[in-house]
Amino acid sequence: MKQLFSRLIRGIVSLAGIIVVYGVINLVFVGGQKLWHHSDHAKFDLLKAQLESEKLAISNAEARLQGFEDEMTRMEAQIESLESRIESTDRRYPSGVPSEIYASYNGSVSQYNELVDQHNSLLQNYNTLYPVYAARVDAYNEKVKKANIISKNIGGTWIIVPIPVPRGGGRLSR
């Protein structure tokens, strides 16, 4: 029984020794890889931080553009409705709008003109923001390409793993 216990303790100590040795070897090996690719890691981390910041700016610009689009769509529906009402009145009274409905007709024309001016202003803002947004997206995509190239250069981290070999010359027996 003592012999069995002694062999078990020696086996555990041997296993622990192997784990420690391989742990130290891997620590040196991984540390060497990190040191070898240190500048690439620094560039990659910088690009990653810039990409996160630019992603937020792009999202904000997209939200603003979407807001412009939504508001212009809403205005276009109102403009079309007013335009239809104005054209219907013009067709009904080709020789002039009667005085009893003229105030309402004139109000519709004024509202139509005001909405067209607001729509055009939003469109101008949209057209000013969109090229800035598109340039940011292009710059973002270029940085992603650079980050992918750097990541490929860095590669994965290699470690050394012990592979047990059966006793007897490495042959498996039945």
pLDDT digits (tens, 9 = 90+) for 45-81: 889 999 999 999 999 999 999 999 999 999 999 999 9
Distance CA 92, CA 106 (A): 15
Non-local CB neighbours of 64 within 8 Å, separated by 6+ positions:
129
**Angstrom distance (rounded) from CA 56 to CA 62:** 10
Write out the two tokens for 52.
Answer: 């996160």
* pTM (2 d.p.): 0.64
Q: Provide the b/e sequence for 74-99 (b: ≥16 CB within 10 Å).
A: ebeeebeebeebbeebeeeeeeebee
Q: For residue 171, what pLDDT band results from cuts at 50, 70 and 90?
A: low
Express each pLDDT in 100-125 by its tens digit: 999 999 999 999 999 999 999 999 99
User: In this structure, what DSSP letter does residue 48 have?
Assistant: H
- CA-derived radius of gyration, the chain: 37
Give the torsion sign (CA, 11, 13, 18, 22): positive
pLDDT computed for residue 85 by the predictor: 95
Q: Quote the percentage of the chain above a pLDDT of 90.
A: 56
Provide the residue count of the chain: 174
- Taking each continuous run of H as one helix and of E as one strand, the counts in the chain are 3, 0
